[in-house]
Structure 1
Amino acid sequence: MEIEKFITQAKKIFISGSFDEERRDFIKNLETCDLLAVPGSGKTTALIAKLYCIAQNMPFEDGSGILVLAHTNTAVEEIEKKIKKHCPQLFQYPNYVGTIQSFVNRYVANQACFEQYGSYITKNEDELSNEKVAREIFYNKSSKIYAILSRYLKESRNTLTEVFLGKYGIADKKQQLVKFRSLEFIDKNDSLLNIQKNYDRITSSLLTQTERKILFDFNNTLKGYEPSLTEIIELVKRIEYNEEDCCFYSDIFPKTWKKRLVFSSPSGAELKTIYDELRKQGYFKYIDSFDLSLKFILSNTDLKNILQKRFKYVFVDEMQDLEINQINIVDQIFFGKESPTVIQRIGDKNQAIYSSGRKVKQTCDWITREEAEAESYVDLRIQNSLRLSSKTADLVDKFVLQRPENYKVTGLFKDSDLNPHLILINRDTTGKEIKSKFIELIKKHQLNNCDKNIENGFKIISWVTDKEEDNSELYLKKLFSEYTKESRVRKEDFNCLKKYIYHFDAGALTLGAARASILNSLTRILDLEYIRDGRGRKFTKSTLMQFLKNQGDEYYNDFKAKLFSWAFDATVNGKKEEVFQDLKIFIKGPDFIGLRWSAEEEDFIACSISRSEEFVDSVNFEQEENPAVSVSSNEEINIDLQSIHAVKGQTHCATMYIESSYFKYETSKLRVVARVGTKTRPEEILPNPLFNQYHNYRSDGDARAKEALKMMYVGFSRPTHLLCFVVLEENIKDYLDMLCHTKGGIWEIDKALLVT
């Protein structure tokens, strides 16, 4: 394999400078290893250069190829965009470039699914699978599993609140609850106790007429409560299907059941039937594909051997984003003493902020080869960041959570020597004032005229972007009402009709994306209404178009004209609401749902919108998937508002990180008390990276601090020139003097936004 002689060519194509020793060592290495790389190190560019050099040696004599995997479609598209025109052979047989999900589905899970369920995978999507399960439960109210879920929801609503008391003009609501508790009409959790048993006592002179009315009205509210489909969907999201243990796990199941619902119970059997039927139709959650594949590959060594011979080299980018089940399936297929395949995994363990759950993981699931097999493997490193200046890198280095020996983030970006800015605010400071301060700093340092501005732009980011219930704590949408959550993935299926119109791939340059999304919405409605094609299968876009064509030329041409008009108005004219309203009328009318969907006269039943009514009316529509909002000023400086998760992997010219409250604020989480103070000795505070100190958070009790470290590490490592950190003064006032006198003067502190 000739690599060295092609590095110069790769350099000319992919970078403006040259590859240093760290990067050249990685490009030339063709042994199984892991590469640990800091933010902005150009690790993906180094991988692309390696792929280019390998491609110049292809085809291989044994007919094998290379496999390139990444966690997201975005990462795959980035690799493809940079290298495909130079090495098109990498995207042809026997090679494969794609997400780990697409690889596992294509080469393992599809066959496993067919052998176990008699079908191939149709969709891998949690939201769609959860909704389909929930609909089966919701529309079978006589089932035992519906009874369990509805009982849980009813019990969760059985809390007499001060808000409910407020409807009756109760002045001292807290005291009223105390009275009800003392009389044992509600328990210590303010849940209403059995009203029938307490009827005589309630109607006695113990209570006033208003107090009696409160208890009876609240009881009637509970009796009349019926769960909504949305509530059932939210519960289904919390249920884990565990085939190995023959049960479902969930926190909604009673402790006496050990939080389990076994398959052998009547309700468990009902729920398992729903899940199994869904799998027979080819619908799986993301994690299901990996569990199914791992089980399959363990019993199919022939397939394992075939894949090892097919792929001589395997490269996995953004390795830190993979979860344990994804890591296991790749290793189970390719890694081992007898395996001829070389596997190289690339990433930054400290940027592992994604997980299938809601929590930020303290530790990365990825254990490097050196950590696992210290004598056999040596991890490679790229510790020089081409993005970060020396001052920003020095700060970011203090936020490293998992630090191998002699590991340090070093900044090589030379065009900025700005100190990070610590901007103090209080609860009266407005988002408009914060944005104006950011623009002021951008102009002060002439970043609006900087090449990096044109290339990378300016971002305001935060950990918490929105909350279901408004409160006094800070989050992005509270400061900037124009913010909407940005979608991290391109989707084809949504939980309501309106999202198909509003959230299709608007970045496409043709009308095809809107057209496909509208057709997907129509097939989804037919599926919800259990309307099948002539072969008893779910309609696809192509079979639907064929069915409509069979209605005659006049109908078909009229439909195609409508479809073009809807796609054009949604894409070009921005008339999404008008398209939604018009499409809704069409769907409910005789020209769609009123068609003769059954070919046989004796089978014909007039169809109507029933099971899909909420879906069509889009009663739960929220603008969740819009692109990140750009906030413009009169000076035409655009500021993007995004979450920290959304900007991972991005480079900015300037970044403003606003602290927010997820259990506590970041500044509060980092202040860890190791020993509580007494009269004779002061409290001991662990070293804090905000003070330019190397932390030593070590116990399980420091979990929140470790979460904050990872989020701040990702957020702080985005900008080339200017980093701003916006904090509530009340959170740091006790140690503000320490920050002002931090060794090395890491922060430039700005108090101009404090409202007196």
Structure 2
Amino acid sequence: MPDASPLIPEITEEDIEWVRALMGLDALDEPRRVFLRSRTTLDVSACPGSGKTTLIVAKLAILARKWPHRSKGICVLSHTNVAREEIQSRLGSTIVGQRLLGYPHFIDTIHGFVNRFLALPWLDSNGYPSPTIDNDVTTAYRRGTLSNSDYWKVQNFLAQKYSGFDRLRICARDLTFDLGGKPFPAGSTAPSFGLAKHAIETAAKAGYFCYDEMFVWARALLEDCPDVASWLRRRFPLVVLDEMQDTFELQGAMLHAIFPRTSADIVVQRVGDPNQAIFDDAEAEPDESDSFPDSDAARNLSIPNSYRFGPEIAVLASPFAVMPVSPTGLCGAGPKAIGGTPTACRHTIFVFPDAGTAGVLNAYGKHVLATFDDADLAKGPVTAVGAVHQGASEVTPGHQHFPKSVPHYWSGYTAEISRKEPHPSSLVQYIRAARAAVRNESDLAPAVERLASGLIRLAGRIGDAGQLKRKARTHRTITDALVANSTVLAAYRRLVKALIIDRLPLTQECWDSMQGDILGICRALCNEDVFEDNAGTFLAWSADPAAPGGGAPISASDTSPNVYRVEEGSRHVDIRLGSIHSVKGQTHLATLILSTHWHDHSSARMLPWLLGNNVNGTGAGKRDRTRLLQTYVAMTRPSHLVCLAVPRFVLGDDQDITQHKETLTARGWQMVEIVDGIAKQPK
């Protein structure tokens, strides 16, 4: 094992006990203490519910307390700002928390790091204007550089090639472009190529770029000034990379170029779970330039025990881990006991007829109501998730792909609102997502932030929102921008009050009456000329979608987007629907995994693992490995109850079902068949 870095303070058992008291942590086992004490390059494979972010924050708190350097800091990078938010939440009022959030330390996303230290300096030094970095705003600007007919020439051509104008990406410093890693499907002399080239170059000269295009400028800086990487290693002797399994090829190559784990002058500690490596972008390629976790046992630490769930769920989920979690599999050391919950919940497989999914959500909801009392239901969300969640109205009951996606279980589902970081296609959907945030988090702040984000996106569509460049899309950004315009600021505050605080019913009549205030706010956020026609469909009214598909109808009692209510007598439970991607990192009270279709039915492909015939990823093809990762993520969300929804044909004929029931019962499942929309015990 390499020697500990002399630049990193030693962490003692006394330090660990100090941080336990500070953060109110339970007893820490030896693997967790090894990570806290470690001062060498190390990979940590932490299972779901192991508290890895809390563990990282605990280590940072100890180090901040003892950090001896004034110009050298700790660099913590991830794909979200969860670590920073936890520092603010748990340590924000402490001296160590304040130290961590300021110079010389840097705690941010990978994109934030690349922009600040590499891409923006290169753009500034090469004459580009202060950039706007946003995929949708940039795409809208590029579209605006073309006439309507020219835009549709390019869009229609790309649609025929199964792509689109919004996939255009700069891939080299000379403004060469492709379609998100795939070549443009026409030569340089083709009219469509020329129009796309004009749009890319004109937008770049005005400073409009997509998020991942910033890596192009970051690479350019490293090529022009290779000493920058050495400077960054001197600045940050300790680098912590969280959620390492989510790092894809473009990000990994950049991180390895700046912070190589073979370097003797830095310590790189990567934390993640290789069994949760699922990507929001279906075309994203995982980082294979430096595999995680390290194959060297001396540089690899495993934390296989979860505090989220108990041994029953651990046993059910463990076979779906692509990489064995430990020699004995996933360990369940939880969950925390809650009032009326039985010691062991009845984990259930709901078998529904091939002709439709009616009754699935009702059966699940009633099972939840029978399992938990109302006090328990208030302690965690009840969810239903599927791997595929985009609308598929062309697939109806009787189609060989049915059920293809989450909307086939409930027609009131909206995919754009479900995303982990909602990125709706209209301002109305932003408001629905904002209201969902209030419901789910019992806090107005996330809702106000989402409304502000939608308004700033609209401002970027209708004009030059230059005063907002390089700033986060936040409520504070808007109020600061409008501070000198009391009339418009008052209109903005009226909008927030009506939509978020008073929850004014969102009807088309209400929406039409707000248009004046909305456009007035966005005009004030823009510099110079404004082109309101560019607002287009983003500002237009849209009702809640109702896609056909044989699932449950929209219910008048549903009180929030993507929430389906099941009532039983005077009691009810709200089931929050979403994609598996959207719930990564979350903890649920109960989770229902919905069978969906991607090249095949997910439940059909996963049946051998469910029955115990297959274990882990041995022999699984690329697509089945993806399904295993998705299933494992979903099955490790709940603290108490996990359920599955499976179409009957997957289990075969009556004889097969009888045999499968015996096997599944022995493995810890109960089977409930749905007939005519009613859940019945199978014979």
CA–CA distance in 2 between the matches of 1:306 and 1:514? 37
Cross-structure match for 2:37: 28
Please tell me the residue identity of whatever aligns with 2:89. K
Quote the residue 1:81 is aligned against.
89
The yes-or-no answer on 1:573 pairing with 2:502 is yes
| SS of structure 1 residue aligned to 2:640 | strand
Structural mapping, 1:424-573, within 5 Å: 424-427=351-354, 430-431=357-358, 433-446=359-372, 448-450=374-376, 453-470=377-394, 471-472=396-397, 473-474=402-403, 475-485=405-415, 486-488=417-419, 496=426, 498-499=428-429, 502-503=432-433, 507=438, 509=444, 513=449, 516=452, 520=456, 523-524=459-460, 526-527=462-463, 558-573=487-502
User: Could you tell me how far apart the structure 2 residues matched to 1:546 and 1:748 are?
Assistant: 56
1:357-368 map, 5 Å: 357=282, 367-368=291-292
Q: Residue in 2 aligned with 1:162?
A: none
The answer on whether the counterparts of 2:19 and 2:58 sit within 8 Å (CA) in structure 1 is yes
CA distance 1:559–1:388, shift in 2 (3 Å): closer
Amino acid corresponding to residue 64 of structure 1 in structure 2: K
- When residues 447 and 730 of structure 1 are mapped into structure 2, their CA distance, relative to the original with a 3 A threshold, is farther
CA contact (8 A) 1:459 1:656 kept: yes
Q: What is aligned with 2:565?
A: 631
Deviation of residue 427 (structure 1)?
3.7
The equivalent of 1:649 in structure 2 is: 585
- Alpha-carbon displacement from aligned partner over 1:239-276 (angstroms, at most 9, x marks no partner): 443327975445999xxxx7544557665344233213
Matches of 2:451 and 2:638 in 1, distance apart? Answer: 38
Name the amino acid aligned to 2:583.
V
CA separation in 2, counterparts of 1:317 and 1:10?
20
In 2, Cα distance between the equivalents of 1:750 and 1:504?
Answer: 37
The 10-residue stretch of structure 1 (75-84 or 328-337) with the greater mean CA deviation from structure 2: 75-84
Task: Note the 1:203-602 alignment, pairs <5 A.
Answer: 235-243=164-172, 247-250=176-179, 260-261=185-186, 267-335=192-260, 337-338=262-263, 340-357=265-282, 367-368=291-292, 370-371=294-295, 374=296, 378-403=299-324, 406=327, 408-413=329-334, 416-418=343-345, 420-427=347-354, 430-431=357-358, 433-446=359-372, 448-450=374-376, 453-470=377-394, 471-472=396-397, 473-474=402-403, 475-485=405-415, 486-488=417-419, 496=426, 498-499=428-429, 502-503=432-433, 507=438, 509=444, 513=449, 516=452, 520=456, 523-524=459-460, 526-527=462-463, 558-575=487-504, 576-577=506-507, 580-585=511-516
8 Å contact from structure 1 (residues 362, 707) kept in 2: no
CA distance in 2: counterparts of 1:56 and 1:352, whole angstroms: 33
Secondary structure of 1:9's counterpart equals helix
1:68 partner SS: strand
State percent identity of aligned pairs.
23
* 8 A Cα contact 1:501 1:580, kept in partner: no
- Calculate the TM-score normalised by the size of structure 1: 0.72
Distance 1:457 1:587, change over 3 A: closer
The letter for the 2-side match of 1:49 is A
Q: Does 1:722 align with 2:648?
A: no
Distance 1:739 1:512 in 2: 49
Q: How many residues align?
A: 622
1:751 aligns with 2:672: yes
Asked whether the 8 Å contact 1:739–1:747 carries over to 2, the reply is no
Residue number in structure 2 paired with 1:121: 131
Is residue 38 of structure 2 the alignment partner of residue 65 of structure 1? no
Partners of 1:541 and 1:706 in 2: CA distance: 41
Q: TM-score, normalised by structure 2?
A: 0.79
Q: CA deviation at 1:66?
A: 0.8
Cα deviation digits, residues 719-742 of structure 1 (max 9, x gap): 122211121111112543443333
Tell me the equivalent position of 1:733. Answer: 652
* RMSD between superposed Cα atoms in Å: 4.2
Structure with higher Rg: it is 1
What SS does the aligned partner of 2:299 have? coil
CA distance in structure 2 between the aligned counterparts of 1:610 and 1:54, rounded to whole angstroms: 54
Q: CA deviation at 1:656?
A: 1.6
1:711 aligns with 2:645: no
Instruction: Give how far 1:140 is off.
Output: 5.3
Partner SS, residue 637 of structure 1: strand
- C-alpha displacement at 1:37, in angstroms? 1.3
Corresponding residue of 1:677? none
Structure 2 partner of 1:104: 114
Asked whether the equivalents of residues 324 and 616 of structure 2 are also in contact (C-alpha less than 8 Å), the reply is no
Distance (whole Å) between structure 2 residues aligned to residue 558 and residue 61 of structure 1: 49
> Alignment partner of 2:35: what SS?
helix
Alignment of 1:179-190 (within 5 A): none
Partner of 2:610: 690
Report the CA distance shift for 1:543/1:716 in structure 2 as closer, same or farther (over 3 A): closer
- CA distance in structure 2 between the aligned counterparts of 1:37 and 1:26, rounded to whole angstroms: 11
Show the counterpart of 2:4. Answer: none
Q: 1:621 to 1:292 in 2, by over 3 A?
A: farther
Residues 523, 541 of structure 1: 8 Å contact kept: no
Task: Please give the residue correspondences for 1:19-58 in structure 2 after superposition, counting only pairs within 5 Å.
Answer: 19-58=28-67
Alpha-carbon distance change, 543 to 458 in structure 1, aligned in 2, over 3 angstroms: closer
Q: Distance in 1 between matches of 2:99 and 2:513?
A: 46
How much does 1:44 deviate? 1.6
Distance 2:259 2:609 in 1: 40
Equivalent residue, structure 1, for 2:27 = 18
Q: Deviations over 1:291-342 (max 9, x none)?
A: 3212322432332222222212111111111111112212211225455221
Which letter does structure 1 place at the counterpart of 2:565? Answer: V
2:610 partner amino acid: L
> CA contact under 8 A between 2:76 and 2:106: conserved in structure 1?
yes
Asked if 2 retains the 8 angstrom alpha-carbon contact of 1:67 and 1:95, the reply is: yes
Report the secondary structure of 1:662's partner residue. coil
Change (3 A) 1:478 1:339: same
SS where residue 441 of structure 1 aligns? Answer: helix
1:392-419 CA-partner distances (Å, limit 9, x unpaired): 2122111111348847312222654446
Residues 610-640 of structure 1: CA distance to partner in whole angstroms, max 9, x if unpaired?
444555445799799x865252534133322
Which residue identity lines up with residue 268 of structure 2 in the other structure?
Answer: I
**Distance (whole Å) between structure 1 residues aligned to residue 360 and residue 123 of structure 2:** 53
User: Is contact 1:438-1:656 (8 Å) kept?
Assistant: yes
